[in-house]
Structure 1
């Protein structure tokens, strides 16, 4: 019995903590928050940043598929990604490396923002002035830090 209590205690000490209103997604080791709002890109980004996070950045097929599933489970068919095109180059707003892309092949090259379509797990370039729902992501912290 003591061993079980010690195990639970140690697990609790090392468990991830998320900012208020976020939930921890263990498979991605990240905290996520569903806003429930439809906003322009800049309003969505501002909301996430004001709430200790950023819009989603995706770095692998696994992350892409899992985030599409999570987005779909929140009834978000299309949600903002934290990616913008500046001078013809896509960049993540959280300044992480651009090491994975999954744009639909017929995207309009003049559009500078993008969404994740949870019905097919593809990215679509869209106008930054359009309104979409979104998920915010934040890095978890440890209780014992």
Structure 2
């Protein structure tokens, strides 16, 4: 499933992600942050180690945004519910090694910032609230006009 098929509104979400491959010693945090902006999804991958110096996703090299306690990367998510092959270069051994992994992002686990289900309508909660208030105001104005017209 693609980000277009999910029809997620721009915003910040969380999503469950699984990691396969490597030696089994490295892990990533799950759920992880997911940012949707202009129809593009970006995940924040937080490794259990700070020894990853780059990742390769879709042939593109990504450098970490942090290597303090953990190596943290912001990578594009092109597909949900099926494996996405990535490479992580680790410097934890005597020489750097590119290790192949598969990440799978579960679309049914996507939650909005407030922990609720993802907004797939294209309208944010605030925008939906504004629409409701505008409709209520229009109805009230119509009722008041009708009452004035019947008193004359």
TM-score range, shorter chain: under 0.3
Larger Rg belongs to = 2
TM-score, structure 1 normalization: 0.25
TM-score, structure 2 normalization: 0.24
